[in-house]
Amino acid sequence: MSETITALTGTGETDANVQHMSMQLALNRALDEILADNPKSVIFGEDCGRLGGVFRITDGLQSKHGEDRVFDTPLAESGILGMSVGLAMAGFHPIPEVQFDGFAYPAINQIVCQIARMNYRSRGTLPMPITLRVPSFGGIRAPEHHGESLEALFAHVPGLKVVSPATPHDAYHLLKYAATRPDPVIFMEPKSRYWQKGPVNLASADMDTAAHDAGTDSGGNLTGARVVREGRHLTLVAWGAMVARCLQVAELAAEDGIDVEVLDLRWLKPIDAEALATSVGKTRRAVVVHEAPLTSGLGAEVAQLITQSCFATLKAPVERVTGFDVPYPSGDLEDEYIPNIDRILFGIQRVLEYRRG
């Protein structure tokens, strides 16, 4: 398991700039530094101020930076995102939070019809530098509307960028990077990973210096995907919480002599098609893993990109291991819904055993 942890975090070295922290603390630290660096940045949402958020991501920020920069809002997601539009038009950098993924639905009109379009509608005179934080995906046994996977919905909308970190290190650096973008970024945080700890290099965005210098890892590039485990026989493509699960699967597969590569997509819009082509071009087989339902999920887009670039060399069709085409279940059933180790291993087996004709 230590090998999995090292691969996932991308660094095991001891360094003055490397601190061991949870993803929750990494996000909190990133927001603290964003507020300090940019006086136009403001953080707001339901319980984001005095309480510090349901998951305590904004804990202590109001007392440090003031009630005019970190504040609570009414329970009205459409109002939160509508206010974000007005603040962006006034020159601020809003960092709103939707308390849970499923609560984003009431604000879809503001996100799709205003935030995503305003820059185009104004011919560039009204950019929307909004970083929308969305605690996302399942894994915490919460009630209905608390375990949604909305990446395909957001990725389908022109004008939005979508990113999901898998490690504390990524969470820290990707959030700081997103907050410097002139475009709206949907920042999907895997809430089941909030309390998982790992090393965070506060000085560098490079995940694995040796691998990056060797040209085998795009970790130093905050706009691309990242190979978190090298392999020869098959590529597992995942994002968010599923990256850690895929690394567990890769270790188990290795016991049977199957060398699995794990690619953390990170950016879900735009997708790093070059990284997909490079990885699957090497392994010639791919399985895409995500928590969202199968039909029209983002895995279909990933599979098409792989097929488009690797059609001549693929040894099997791209397999998808996903959630089911049902509403997200209650907490006592989510272990059956979220792709588990056995389902992913069966997906690998189907791809490896595929025979043409």
Query: Domains of the chain (ranges plus CATH)?
Result: 18-199 (3.40.50.970), 223-352 (3.40.50.920)
Q: Is the pLDDT of residue 340 over 80?
A: yes
Q: Which pLDDT value is given to residue 205?
A: 63
Tell how strand 267-269 and strand 161-163 pair up: antiparallel
State yes or no: is 145 an active-site residue. no
Q: Name the average pLDDT for the chain.
A: 91
Least confident span in 109-113, 210-214, 309-313: 210-214
**Beta pairing partners, 236:** 262, 287
Q: Is the pLDDT of residue 82 over 50?
A: yes
Average pLDDT over residues 204-231: 62
Q: Is the pLDDT of residue 308 over 60?
A: yes
**Which class for 323: exposed (0-12), middle (13-18), buried (19 or more C-beta within 10 A)?**
buried
DSSP per-residue codes, 286-322: EEEEEEEESTT-HHHHHHHHHHHHHTTT-SSPPEEEE
Taken in order 185, 190, 194, 196, the sign of the CA dihedral is negative
Q: Annotate 245-259 with b (16+ C-beta within 10 A) or e (fewer).
A: bbbbbbeebeeeebe
| Contact assessment for residue 148 and residue 338, using Cβ atoms and an 8 Å cutoff | no
Write the CB contacts of 294 (distance below 8 Å, at least 6 apart in sequence). 320, 322, 323, 324, 325
Name which residue leads in pLDDT, 14 or 50.
Answer: 50
Q: Which pLDDT value is given to residue 211?
A: 36
**Beta pairing partners, 235:** 261, 286
Average pLDDT over residues 181-209: 86
Please report, in angstroms and rounded to a whole number, the separation of the first and last CA atoms in the chain: 39
Question: Which pLDDT band holds residue 13 (cuts at 50, 70, 90)?
Answer: very low
Q: Which pLDDT value is given to residue 357?
A: 61
> In percent, how much of the chain has pLDDT > 90?
85
Dihedral (Cα; 120, 122, 128, 134), 10-degree rounding: -50
Smallest Cα–Cα separation from 201: which of 225, 166, 171? 171
Q: Is the pLDDT of residue 7 over 90?
A: no
Chain centroid, CA 28 distance in Å: 16
Q: Which pLDDT value is given to residue 5?
A: 41
Least confident span in 96-100, 209-213, 288-292: 209-213
Give CA separation, 116 vs 86, 180, 214, 264, in Å: 13, 17, 38, 25
Q: Where are the alpha helices (DSSP H) in 202-267?
A: 209-213, 242-254
Q: Which pLDDT value is given to residue 219?
A: 41
Q: Is the pLDDT of residue 204 over 80?
A: no
Question: Which pLDDT band holds residue 310 (cuts at 50, 70, 90)?
Answer: very high
- Single out the catalytic residue among 65, 93, 146, 212: 146
Q: Which pLDDT value is given to residue 38?
A: 97
Q: Is the pLDDT of residue 136 over 80?
A: yes
Joined tokens for residue 255: 């016991």
Least confident span in 191-195, 200-204, 259-263: 200-204
Q: Is the pLDDT of residue 216 over 70?
A: no
Q: What is the pTM of this model?
A: 0.91
